[in-house]
Amino acid sequence: DAGVIQSPRHEVTEMGQEVTLRCKPISGHNSLFWYRQTMMRGLELLIYFNNNVPIDDSGMPEDRFSAKMPNASFSTLKIQPSEPRDSAVYFCASSVGRWSPGELFFGEGSRLTVL
Amino acid sequence: TQLLEQSPQFLSIQEGENLTVYCNSSSVFSSLQWYRQEPGEGPVLLVTVVTGGEVKKLKRLTFQFGDARKDSSLHITAAQPGDTGLYLCAGTLDDKIIFGKGTRLHILP
């Protein structure tokens, strides 16, 4: 079975450029989460969706960050414009449903470097 | 403020030794999970504990959920080099899954 698929695995960009990260959750999973991981702050929840609807985006750092889930099999996280402090590994995770939280299946992450 | 505090942050021990790592909070969680993460990969779920006082065993790993559902511990017996990795605890709070910063464990052969 395919797990959570993220792309790109690595992205190097210059400050001010737009970055789009993509995620395909596990088929049949109804909840999707975006996390950011850094050494200093660990894994931070940015936003999560249930049945394609954003439930809580209070972790999104600022207006430069936006996330969409147009259908059950695809989500994007966009940063525009990007800044060096956005450098981190961004993880997408999915779970079966809102009422079985905690059992997350993670992708391999997208490592973003903003110069 | 970190909702889930993990200790120690780093631990390096010899193969064959026993160890315990901790996950503490002032909040009550409806469930708590332990994950292990290896370099270049996403975290992988090890166990979920739900009931206060619950103990679960996974081969040489023993997980305990505190009676008040605010804390948890992970005990590894006879550690092996394959146990090396970042161990993360995560708590479910109001439908959100919050992670601690993790304990980075290194088992020396």
* Residues A23-63 pLDDT 10s: 999 999 999 999 999 999 999 999 999 999 999 899 998 89
Cα of B78 to nearest chain A Cα, Å:
27
CB–CB contact B44 A42 (8 Å)? no
d(Cα A66, Cα B62) in Å, to the nearest integer? 40
CA angle A34, B6, A9 (to 5 degrees): 30
Under 8 Å CB pairs connecting chains A and B tally to 61
**Is it the case that residue A101 has pLDDT exceeding 70?**
no
d(Cα A43, Cα A52) in Å, to the nearest integer? 22
**Is it the case that residue A99 has pLDDT exceeding 70?**
no
The per-residue pLDDT for range B18-67, each reduced to its tens digit, is 999 999 999 988 889 999 999 999 999 999 998 899 999 999 999 999 99
Of all residues in chain B, the one with the smallest CA distance to A6 is: B42
pLDDT at site A98 = 65
Mutation for A interface: B95, B98, B104, most A CBs within 10 A: B95
d(Cα B17, Cα B49) in Å, to the nearest integer? 25
